[in-house]
Amino acid sequence: MTVETVLLVASALVAVGVYGVLSQQVVVMVVMGLELMINGVILAAGGLWWFLAPDPSGQVLLLVVIAAMTVEMAMGFAVATLLHRQAGHDMTDMAAELHG
């Protein structure tokens, strides 16, 4: 496996994520697109770290980012569940109707 392969897979993940965010209107699908984009960035960062400086200390930062991403995904699903329970749908157009 080369750094070019890793970056190619990472860019494919980001491209699929961008397509998912821009083409979907369901909140869960938009969140999944965001997750794909973040995973692409994490893969690119991890690959570059591995090939340029194989020091394991940089991987701790990636673990922190993955933990933050997990919290973000949980928040996205909580918003989708709230939308579905209040209005019976979870479209992004209706997300503007949420009030504190």
Structure tokens that stand for 59 in this block: 């991987």
Q: What is the pTM of this model?
A: 0.73
pLDDT at 11: 95
The dihedral region occupied by 88, where left means phi > 0, alpha psi between -120 and 50, and beta the remainder, is left
Query: Tokens 């993955």, residue?
Result: 66
Contacts of 3 (CB under 8 A, 6+ apart): 47, 48, 51
pLDDT at 76: 79
pLDDT at 95: 63
pLDDT at 22: 92
